[in-house]
Amino acid sequence: MVSSGFPQLTRIALALLFATGLATAAAEAHHSHADFALDRDATVVGTIEGIRFQNPHVLIVVRTDESTTYTAEWQGAQWLQSHPELVAAGGSRLTSTTLKLGDRVVLVGSPARDTTIRTLIIKEVRRPSDGWQWSCHQAGVLRAC
C-alpha cells in the first residue's frame, strides 16, 4: 500500500505548531516585569553616558544633573527598527546612531518597585535639542512597550 504522506505532514505541522507555542511562552516569560511598577511612570532627565543598541534589549545609561545614574531598558534593537510608526512625526527612523553619548534626553518609564534601584523600562524617549521623540503611547497604537 502506498501512503500519501499526509499523516507524516500532519505530525510535522503539529510539532512545528507546538514548538512555536513553546517559543511564544518562553518569550512571554522573558518579558515578565514583576520587579517594576508598570502602573506608574517616572521621568528621568539627563545626559546619555552609555548606550548599547542590541538585542534582546537596548540599554541606556543616563546621568542626571544631580549625578544620579539610571539604567533604562528599552525594546530590542530589531524590534525598535521594525516599528517606525512609534517615532513622532518629523522624527527620523530609529537606528543605532539616532541617540549618541552626550545627548540630553528625557526618559519616561516604569520604575523599579525597589526605589533604591535606579532602573526603568522605557515608554517614551525625547531629545529636546531637536524635538526627536519615540513613544509607545501614541493615539491609535495599542502596543505594549
* pLDDT of the residue at 37: 80
Integer angstrom CA distances of residue 105 from 32, 62, 124, 131:
26, 8, 10, 10
Cell numbers linked to 109: 518609564
The pTM of this model reads 0.72
Q: Which segments of the chain does DSSP mark as H helices, in order? A: 6-30, 77-81
Note the pLDDT tens digit of each residue in 87-143. Answer: 876 667 788 999 999 999 999 999 998 988 999 999 999 999 999 898 887 555 444
Q: How far apart are CA 115 and CA 117, in angstroms?
A: 5
How confident is the model at residue 98, as a pLDDT? 92
